[in-house]
A and B are shown apart, each in its own frame.
Chain A
Amino acid sequence: MTSEKLDIIENSLKSKGVKEYEIFLIERNIHETMLLKNQRDVEREITDFEYFIRLLNQKDDSTGIGVIKGNSTSPKQLDNNITQCVGLSRVNTGPKYFFPEKSNASNLRLAEEKLLKNPLSVKNDLVEELISNCAHLKEVEAPFGRFRTHINHNYLRNSNGLDLDSIKTFYFIELSLKAQKNGDLSEFWDVGYYKSKDHLKFGQRLEDWSKLAKDTLRAKVPEPNEKTIVIFPPNVLKEAINPVVGIHSLAKSRYEKISRFNPGDKVANDDFILHDDGLLEGGLSSNPWDAEGISQQKTSVIENGVFKNFLYDHKYALLENKKSTGNASRTANGTVNNGISNFTVNSGDISLKDMISEIKKGYYIQKFSWLNPDVVSGFFGAEIRNGYYIKDGEFKYPIKLGNVSGNVLDMIKECLYISKEREYSENSYFPYIAFNNLNVSS
């Protein structure tokens, strides 16, 4: 598939004599409904595109890169953009760099046919299903909700003959479920992207969320506890692992002396196995190719607790004479950065139910206020929004408020149990993990 806009931009570049260029173009179509008290309140449709041009200026022992962002293909605007981009590439200086050549990207399928054909109808059907499911919930209300369908058509073309495109569809839900009794209020609120319609599972999801909202109504502030056991479900684990282990696994972090990992180091428990999988079916960041057009792949990062491989984009691969692992990502202003794709952690040998039954005293945290660990040091301290206190192998009572603190880089060395079950959460596919030696304060 090709885009007329891509041709227009490329022709402009050629007409101005630009030799080394890369064009990344993204066309977006979004349909959204926002719900007020479980009724349609705002209907939105967004049609947009933007492009990023990167130009190279080769110098003796360095390369200047100019980056420009735009969303108009009018000749005047394009001419202005390219002129400025050429100027930037002259001023900029960095390590020697060139654009990758054509490679064999996988035929990964990322779009749902029905959504591509009739996005408005798919969105409306799913909104009705969401409203209907919310209406049937007992003892909870849905004060606010937001549902979107996304179609992203990405194109990448460069002066080395690379010419790629991929169409991706995905969904977004933000939903608040509220319970109230005798003037007391409680809520379960969640927000996130879902790669496929199969992941939405409104029926089961809303039942689970509804239970959390109702349970939180009778939640207690947890007892303070030092060096205790805390279970992180997959969605919470993603907030801990992806930013911290992610940063320390990047070739850029090694190059810039931030990473604490070295190949061969023992960085986690023996049974902790982590991959970066850019082709993961169901992973939100899956794509046949990365931001530079290099094939995405599955890379072993931590094998039986031992750090194995850094994740490379083309730039850091060139700097260290390695092969890119397809780990280039595009920032909002168009620059290319070394980044993770989807992280997976292998399942363990115990069910979640058995895991809980093995714990004499501990905590299960379904949702933190915002975990947001420090990516460099790994430290975090986060308020509990929805969780349970575990006593003698069962959920004793729901908990709220209080703080869990620890360090992600230490935590992965303290995995007590890893569940058999795994779940997708945006760009992760993780089990439930019980960690030892975390602190709960209240």
Chain B
Amino acid sequence: MNGTTHGEIFSLFNEISKNYNRKDQYFDILYDATSSFSIKKTPSSEDITVDTKTSGIVARTFIGKWEEIAINNDSDTAIINKRLPKVKNKGDTIAEFESWKINKELKPKINPLDISVEEKVERIREIFNYVKNSDERIINTQVLYAETFTERIFVNNEGCELRQSIPRVRFAVLPIAKEESVVDYDYFIKSGEMGYEIMDLVNNQALDKAVQNSLDMLKAELPPSGKHTIILDPSMAGLIAHESFGHGLEADQVLRDRSYLKQHLNKKVASEICTIYDTPSYENKLGSYFFDDEGIKAGNNLLVKDGILRSFIYDRRSASEFDAKPQGNGRRESFAHPVNPRMTNTYFGPGDYSLEEMISETQKGAILIHGYFGMEDPLGGGMQCTSKKAFLIENGHKTKILKATALSGAVLDLLKNIDAVSKDAVTLDGGTCGKGSEDLIPVTSGGVYLRANNALISPG
């Protein structure tokens, strides 16, 4: 289908779709095309890669269970009709949702395609050299720039005709510092649904700070083990909202009876000062889009309001089973990966505290900074979220810097022990989310500062 216009793809998909009568069965078909450009520079390599376009098609039907076929773009689409069965009277095994049309291309301020490869490479080399030469203790520098354009075209036998084209850009710099036998690092990352304007955010001040943060890690001590009062920065708050809490709200887990949160709908799951959202329609964030991979319009999930669990996160199938209104959370990594209910931009809403108040009121504790990674536990409700660093809080003051710090325990205990939520504006950090161990999709998570009592921390 290379060289085919989106109008021609719509026509072809509608033709294929006509073979599947909605009264008898649900059918949809998705075209997925990705093009990308990346530069990764390390002391001994400069990898520049281009993906001019990799694309494919996935078609599926629901007949009480899903039957799905994914093919490469060079393949003959006739195989779809041959492989996907046609049945009678299975149409009501899945609910009908709103039929709509959209054709939208998200335009970045500066289209990366308007910037030459030479200019991009030169900019990355400048950044690399600036960081590398900033301090003799920086023994290794890694710089990454990656841009991706994703086009998705969706048609189903309920009348949806949808197309979106979304640019996503990421930048990261990682200066590794060494002094005597201690080696450690911090990192600086920016990402979003944006264009080459991302590089405006990468100024000398930001790079100096990244270097200083890495050098500071050389002095970091191991964090204490045990239960403490902790303050979570927005990126750590986002990790809790996403990894520890959000994955248990994905309604496929509820459908499987594999979520500890199933029995908590409309019940208290967090302190009454907590509000948590997942918002696919959040503008220009890494996890945003106009429609999901099942043709559902991107909306907003109010997951927790005033500490009460208000909603799960639905895809088409689970929304049908639970008679819920899906907000556009059915996502695929690509045409070759399955759809699941997935998070998008997940975050804590603001409260009424200031960070300074939180710290000054804490006699002994730690502030966990720079959410690093976390892991889901949808059935057990366990929590593992690790920050890249932390600071000890003693007598109302931030004191020693600490190495990577792991936060564990039962997530609902942590959420119920939150006693302060900051009034800052919500900030979201971009990242990649896997379901189990695969199916990687772009997301953001974040929120504001949180303070919780009696939280288990240890070296991470």
Contacts and interface: CB of A to CB of B under 8 A. Distances in A.
A71 B336 contact: no
A101 interface: no
B275 interface: no
A429 interface: no
Nearest to A77: B2
A48 B336 contact: yes
A369 B460 contact: no
B406 A72 contact: no
Contacts of B65: 40-43
Contacts of A36: 255-256
B140 A379 contact: no
A174 B436 contact: yes
Given A71-B74, A84-B52, A333-B38, A258 B183 contact: yes
A357 interface: no
B377 A369 contact: yes
A47 B458 contact: no
Given A49-B72, A84-B50, A376-B176, A185 B260 contact: yes
A1 interface: no
A329 B384 CA distance: 30
Interface string B366-400: 00000001110101101110100000000000000
B91 interface: no
B262 to A, nearest CB: 10
A48 B71 contact: yes
A442 B375 contact: no
A366 interface: no
A32 B336 CA distance: 11
B52 A77 contact: yes
A67 B49 contact: yes
Given A41-B66, A45-B83, A80 B49 contact: no
B456 A441 contact: yes
A176 B376 CA distance: 13
What band does the interface of chain B fall in when counting residues whose beta carbon is under 8 Å from A?
Answer: 35 or more
Given A41-B66, A94-B46, A144-B256, A379 B403 contact: yes
A44 B66 CA distance: 8
A381 B404 contact: yes
A48 B70 contact: yes
A143 B52 contact: no
B69 A403 contact: no
B258 interface: yes
Contact of B408 (A178, A257, A331, A403): A403
A440 to B, nearest CB: 9
B139 interface: yes
B287 interface: no
Nearest to A30: B336
A256 B42 contact: yes
A335 B49 CA distance: 7
Given A41-B66, A377-B184, A187 B380 contact: yes
A44 B338 contact: yes
Interface stretch (A85-93, A155-163, A194-202): A85-93
Contacts of B458: 381, 403, 405, 439, 441
Contacts of A72: 2, 53-55, 72-74
Given A37-B256, A441-B226, A383 B383 contact: yes
Given A85-B50, A370-B384, A42 B66 contact: yes
Interface string B440-460: 000000000000000010111
B128 interface: no
B277 to A, nearest CB: 25
Nearest to A255: B44
A304 interface: no
Given A80-B52, A88-B117, A224 B225 contact: yes
Contacts of B74: 71-74
A81 B52 contact: yes
A274 interface: no
Interface string B182-215: 0111000000000000000000000000000000
A405 B460 contact: yes
**Residue among A95, A370, A383, A385 facing the most chain B CB atoms (10 A cut-off):** A383
Contacts of A442: 456
A34 interface: yes
B75 interface: yes
Contact of B51 (A34, A333, A370, A405): A333
Contacts of A185: 260, 379-380
A382 interface: yes
A151 B373 CA distance: 32
B3 interface: yes
B49 A71 contact: no
A174 to B, nearest CB: 5
Given A48-B72, A84-B50, A441-B456, A174 B139 contact: no
Contacts of A66: 48
Interface in A16-72: 30, 32, 34, 36-37, 40-50, 65-72
A68 B51 contact: yes
B50 A68 contact: yes
B50 A94 contact: no
B456 A403 contact: yes
Contacts of B383: 383
B3 A47 contact: no
B303 to A, nearest CB: 21
Interface of A: 30, 32, 34, 36-37, 40-50, 65-74, 76-77, 80-81, 84-85, 87-88, 91-95, 141, 143-144, 146, 174, 176, 178, 185-187, 189, 191-192, 224, 252, 255-258, 260, 315-316, 319, 331, 333-335, 369-370, 372, 374, 376-377, 379-383, 385, 400-403, 405, 439, 441-442
5 contacts: A42-B66, A46-B70, A70-B53, A77-B52, A176-B256
> Which 9 residue pairs are nearest across A and B when measured between Cβ atoms?
A441-B225, A381-B406, A381-B460, A370-B375, A369-B384, A383-B384, A143-B256, A441-B458, A405-B459
Interface of B: 2-3, 36, 38, 40, 42-56, 65-75, 83, 117-118, 121, 139-140, 176, 178, 183-185, 225-226, 252-253, 255-258, 260, 336, 338, 373-375, 377, 379-380, 382-384, 386, 403-406, 408-410, 436-437, 456, 458-460
Given A44-B68, A69-B54, A439-B225, 18 more contacts: A36-B255, A41-B66, A49-B72, A65-B47, A77-B2, A141-B257, A143-B256, A143-B258, A191-B437, A257-B178, A258-B140, A258-B183, A376-B185, A377-B183, A379-B459, A385-B377, A403-B406, A405-B460
